[in-house]
A and B are shown apart, each in its own frame.
Chain A
Amino acid sequence: MGNKQTIFTQEQLDAYQDCTFFTRKEILRLFYRYRDLAPQLVPLDYTNKPAVTLPYELIGSMPELKDNPFRQRIAEVFSEHGDGNMTLDDFLDMFSVLSEMAPRDLKAYYAFKIYDFNNDDYICKSDLEKTVNKLTRNELTPEEVSLVCEKVIYEADVDNDGKLSLEDFQHMIVRAPDFLSTFHIRI
């Protein structure tokens, strides 16, 4: 095989292939996308694993993410320290989970994390309210928002603690017919 690229070692590429849903070509393409966000910050040689992190603003301005109301949460969930600044590893991880090859359980796990705004491992009423307001751009009245959140908790809360745990969420989302097709970014 003509192995002309010098960005990664063969080992690194193989390891990335094993750890994500991407093929070799796609990983290289993703690297170039990552680099295009800030060519002066990202070196062309990753063989010695430089510790380069891109700030959230650059990530959030990508065409695939800029219209998504949850882009901030997505970046925070996948970033190393939870602040939205991403290394190449985080970047690959994010798009791997959001690719169409990722299985339902994996996506459900990360979806739960994304919608858990306060990072307390539960989706509580305030998280739900934030989600609804982001989805409708604050068009619903507070009573309507409250009604919606109550209904969601009523429907999905299995252990009756007034908030959704990961199990509740997974139990609800694996039956959703649209989940796999909507929780999907193609890059």
Chain B
Amino acid sequence: DGSDDNEEGSAVENEETVKGTERKRATPRTRRGHARGRDRHGDEEDEDDEDGTRRTGHRRHRNRRRGRAAGNEASDSDMEPAKARKNEANQKSKEDDEEEEDEKGGKSGKGKNEKKGDKKADKKGKKEKANKKKKDKKKSGSGSDSESEEEPITEEELAKLKEEVEEKKKLIATLRNKPWKMKKKLSVLKEAQLFVEKFEGALGKGKGKKFYAYKVMMTKKWMKFQRDFENFKTACIPWEMKIKEIESHFGSSVASYFIFLRWMYGINMILFGLTFGLVMVPEALMGKPYGSLPRKTVPRAEEATAMNFATLWDFSGLAQYSVLFYGYYNNQRTIGWLKFRMPLSYFLVGVGSIGYSFMIVTRTMAKNANDDGGGDDTSFNFSWKMFTSWDYLIGNPETADNKFASITTSFKEAIVEEQESRKEENIHLTRFLRVLANFLALCTLAGSGYLIFFVVRRSQQFALEGLENYGWWERNEVNTVMSLLGMFCPTLFDVISSLENYHPRIALRWQLGRIFALFLGNLYTFIIALMDEINLKARYLLPFTLEEEKIVKYNMTIWEASLYNGTIPENSTAPPIQVDPADVPRGPCWETMVGQEFVRLTVSDMMTTYITILIGDFLRAVFVRFFNYCWCWDLEYGFPSYSEFDISGNVLGLIFNQGMIWMGSFYAPCLPAINVFRLHTSMYLQCWAVMCCNVPQERVFKASRSNNFYMAMLLFILFLSTLPAVYTIVSIPPSFDCGPFSGKTRMYEVISETLEHDFPSWFGKVFGYASNPGLILPFILLMVLSLYYLNATSKSYKEANLELKKKLQ
């Protein structure tokens, strides 16, 4: 009963506080019904207030409202006395309960208007400064109770009321999270607020609100900052929008090629930075200028054509005798006032580029493997595509177009995956066909290998007999055959792969693998040819080279002496006559030659690619588009139709091109620069060509999450490319007349020289001990063991991961 009274009391209080504002709209009765439907007590409350106005004796009871008097006074002035009294009464303590009860007895038929007036003023006051204490509430509650309440409110009732107030407060705080219409939210809010105001200190509530608003503002500011930062980071990534556009129209597999291209561009920029900053610029700024040394000057014989465009395009003439190639660099140990160690820098940059490339490729592979293993949650693939793919932030028609295309492509990819997984296979037939296809592919590879071998042998024969006797075909036989093989074999592989009936992604991998093997064969023969030439020089000319060195040097001294009109003094101390370096006879410089070959190859490769795109894609598209009107059959659907983007060809082209760069950059520091330029223009040209001339494949398929397949091939090529450079560094003596290592027996001697001169002696000793095979072999053994151990632990982690995933399911 006691708790009932309390509730009634609170209801009454509610009514009291609500009445003020809603007075205009609803009669007290209506509202009473709204609040708790306890008309009885509402009436009593009315009577109570009237008593307050009438009887000064009630002042004590109204004391509890004193706190609000100040605020109340601000409103209705004519109602003040009544209000003040009411307020005071409200603030009274529990002890006055009995007095109120006495007063209640006397209530009867009070004028409603007066009550209303009182209540309105009171409510307004309360609204402004609701500092009613709980005791007060209980007071009026117990006061409004008829005759039953004699004892003070118990602790449990207090606790229950507290709980309710907390609930209401929580409701107010989470109101915005409720899925109701605004009207409902507003009315619930009002009700809850009145309830809480009645029974809670306004001070605490007011503070809470301000703090909450502050917290919300800080959260919003933080979110905005995060968003801006993300936008900035994305804007910094070059070509992101282009690639996204291509992805929306052509699918993720085509886009993966461009992402790979962009990644390569990054690597080449770093390599360019290294070679440019640490090799080319110091030599250009601090080394001896052009024309001061024989190796730095165009020989007299070639001077006439040195500046011709044709010569420059061929990278001879002036281009050859510049910082672009190995031969220009002087073997002085330090140059300039900075005492920059040029040969050391050249050596370290060469080795460092290779080391950096290994590191970055391996790191990317590891990162991709992480992403892959991170969990491919495909349990709601289609559902998520349907309900979360549209970005509600899009406000631009072009972006919307791209998004529609992207969503369509994404659905198509997912449908292909689904269809593939549903395919029923006749195992035996499929296996047989696949074996047959592989056999055919092997035959093709063997055939192409033999053809190249045959052609190279023939060309070596021609070379021995002198190339002037043969026409254009014989001279360029090797190149042409290799290019033709490169053009037709991939198409053949494509036809063969239709036998195999693989998932498109797997079919692409097989295609890539086969073309890789083909190109590798080509590259292998090319290297053989080059190595043959070098070896030729090394093997045959090494004894001759030493002889040749002596001969050339002797010739030089004779020639010098001939400038003096005298005999040949062995130990001449006469001042050397100034001879123009252009006239000095030169020794052979195989490194520059090799560098030139690589540069020419890169440039011609670049030209071929661009012309293929322009003719193969662009002109074809123009032809199909405009001649379709006057042609017998439908050009767009039949032959030739628009071309599709050839992912495998382009990826392999990129990888092999990079292999060339890695091989050649030791001999021609300008190669990374040329490659950066090539990749930059390639990106723009190919992006344009794809969007303009190509059509998406019939069955767009999703690229695998990681690009690890491309990375694996790249790593393999990197390894192959470093072998020739390492071989030359270790086994072949550098030319005596050109380059930073001239005069040394082996290129790596520059390291020991540096250790001798630039480091304290104990360092050299330590290094000597460290490079002892007795120490190196156990170290290698240790590395192999740790590799094995790490592999074993990673396997066990993967298994544990899978187990956990299963448990989660």
A interface residue numbers (CB < 8 A to B): 15, 17-21, 23, 63-64, 66-70, 80, 89-90, 92-93, 96, 98, 100-103, 105-106, 109-111, 115, 128, 131-132, 135-137, 139-140, 144, 147-148, 151-152, 155-156, 169, 172-173, 175-176, 178-179, 181-186
Q: How far is the CA of A146 from the CA of B316 in the complex (A)?
A: 66
Mask: chain B, 374-413; 1 = CB below 8 Å from A; 0 = not: 0001011111101111111111110110001001100110
A165 to chain B, nearest CB (A): 14
- Chain B residue at minimum C-beta to C-beta distance from A136: B408
Q: How far is the CA of A103 from the CA of B723 in the complex (A)?
A: 59
Size of interface on B: residues with Cβ below 8 Å to A: 48
Contact of B179 with A135 in the complex, beta carbons under 8 Å = no
Q: How far is the CA of A155 from the CA of B400 in the complex (A)?
A: 28
Q: How far is the CA of A179 from the CA of B380 in the complex (A)?
A: 13
Tell me the B141-186 residues at the A interface (CB within 8 Å). 172, 175-179, 181-183, 185-186
B contact residues around A111 at 8 Å (CB): 387
B301 touches A (CB below 8 Å)? no
Contact of A93 with B386 in the complex, beta carbons under 8 Å = no
Q: How far is the CA of A97 from the CA of B213 in the complex (A)?
A: 18
- Decide if the interface of chain A is mainly helix, strand, loop or mixed: helix
Q: How far is the CA of A101 from the CA of B182 in the complex (A)?
A: 17
Contact of B415 with A148 in the complex, beta carbons under 8 Å = yes
B728 to chain A, nearest CB (A): 51
Contact (A155, B380) CB under 8 Å given A101-B220, A136-B408, A184-B393: yes
A167 to chain B, nearest CB (A): 14
Contact partner of A182 among B179, B189, B390, B412, CB < 8 A?
Answer: B390
Q: How far is the CA of A56 from the CA of B399 in the complex (A)?
A: 24
B234 touches A (CB below 8 Å)? no
A contact residues around B393 at 8 Å (CB): 182, 184-186
B contact residues around A144 at 8 Å (CB): 411-412, 415
- Decide if the interface of chain B is mainly helix, strand, loop or mixed: helix
Contact of A152 with B386 in the complex, beta carbons under 8 Å = yes
Contact of B383 with A155 in the complex, beta carbons under 8 Å = yes
Contact partner of A155 among B185, B381, B397, CB < 8 A?
Answer: B381
B418 touches A (CB below 8 Å)? yes
Give the most central of B213, B380, B400, B412: most A CB within 10 Å: B380
Q: Give 12 A-B contacts (CB < 8 Å), ordered by A residue.
A: A18-B172, A63-B395, A69-B390, A101-B216, A111-B387, A115-B387, A136-B411, A151-B418, A156-B383, A176-B384, A179-B387, A182-B389
Contact of A23 with B217 in the complex, beta carbons under 8 Å = yes
Contact (A155, B382) CB under 8 Å given A63-B395, A96-B176: yes
Q: How far is the CA of A184 from the CA of B395 in the complex (A)?
A: 12
B190 touches A (CB below 8 Å)? yes
Contact (A67, B216) CB under 8 Å given A132-B386, A144-B411, A148-B411: no
Q: How far is the CA of A100 from the CA of B224 in the complex (A)?
A: 10
Contact (A140, B219) CB under 8 Å given A132-B386, A179-B387: no
A contact residues around B563 at 8 Å (CB): none
B751 touches A (CB below 8 Å)? no
Q: How far is the CA of A105 from the CA of B178 in the complex (A)?
A: 9
Q: How far is the CA of A156 from the CA of B386 in the complex (A)?
A: 12
Contact (A182, B388) CB under 8 Å given A15-B190, A96-B176, A103-B177: yes
B418 to chain A, nearest CB (A): 7
Contact of A147 with B182 in the complex, beta carbons under 8 Å = no
Contact of A110 with B179 in the complex, beta carbons under 8 Å = yes
- Chain A residue at minimum C-beta to C-beta distance from B227: A100
B568 touches A (CB below 8 Å)? no
Contact (A19, B415) CB under 8 Å given A135-B386, A136-B407: no
B contact residues around A90 at 8 Å (CB): 181-182
Contact of B380 with A89 in the complex, beta carbons under 8 Å = no
Q: How far is the CA of A135 from the CA of B386 in the complex (A)?
A: 8
Excluding A23-B220, A136-B408, A151-B381, 19 further A-B contacts by CB distance (< 8 Å) are A19-B176, A19-B182, A19-B189, A20-B176, A67-B395, A80-B181, A90-B181, A100-B223, A103-B177, A115-B387, A132-B386, A136-B404, A148-B386, A173-B388, A182-B388, A182-B390, A182-B393, A183-B388, A183-B392
A52 to chain B, nearest CB (A): 14
Contact of B415 with A178 in the complex, beta carbons under 8 Å = no
B268 to chain A, nearest CB (A): 34
Contact of A176 with B380 in the complex, beta carbons under 8 Å = yes
Contact of B175 with A152 in the complex, beta carbons under 8 Å = no
Contact (A64, B408) CB under 8 Å given A135-B389, A155-B379, A182-B389: no
Contact (A182, B392) CB under 8 Å given A18-B175, A19-B175, A23-B216: yes
B720 to chain A, nearest CB (A): 40
A99 to chain B, nearest CB (A): 9
- Chain B residue at minimum C-beta to C-beta distance from A64: B395
A179 to chain B, nearest CB (A): 5
Contact of B391 with A147 in the complex, beta carbons under 8 Å = no
Q: How far is the CA of A178 from the CA of B385 in the complex (A)?
A: 10
Nearest 7 Cβ contacts at the A-B interface: A89-B182, A67-B400, A151-B382, A19-B185, A136-B408, A109-B179, A178-B388
Contact (A178, B189) CB under 8 Å given A136-B408, A136-B411, A140-B411: no
B contact residues around A139 at 8 Å (CB): 404, 408
B contact residues around A172 at 8 Å (CB): 380, 383-384, 387
Contact of A89 with B386 in the complex, beta carbons under 8 Å = no
B contact residues around A64 at 8 Å (CB): 395
Q: How far is the CA of A184 from the CA of B388 in the complex (A)?
A: 11
Contact of A106 with B386 in the complex, beta carbons under 8 Å = no
B contact residues around A15 at 8 Å (CB): 186, 189-190
A contact residues around B179 at 8 Å (CB): 106, 109-110
Contact (A67, B397) CB under 8 Å given A101-B219, A101-B220, A182-B389: yes
A contact residues around B388 at 8 Å (CB): 173, 176, 178-179, 182-183
Contact of B390 with A68 in the complex, beta carbons under 8 Å = yes
B416 to chain A, nearest CB (A): 10
B contact residues around A17 at 8 Å (CB): 213
B contact residues around A70 at 8 Å (CB): 390
Q: How far is the CA of A64 from the CA of B185 in the complex (A)?
A: 25
- Chain B residue at minimum C-beta to C-beta distance from A103: B177
- Chain A residue at minimum C-beta to C-beta distance from B377: A175
B197 to chain A, nearest CB (A): 13
Contact of B181 with A68 in the complex, beta carbons under 8 Å = no
Contact of B386 with A128 in the complex, beta carbons under 8 Å = yes
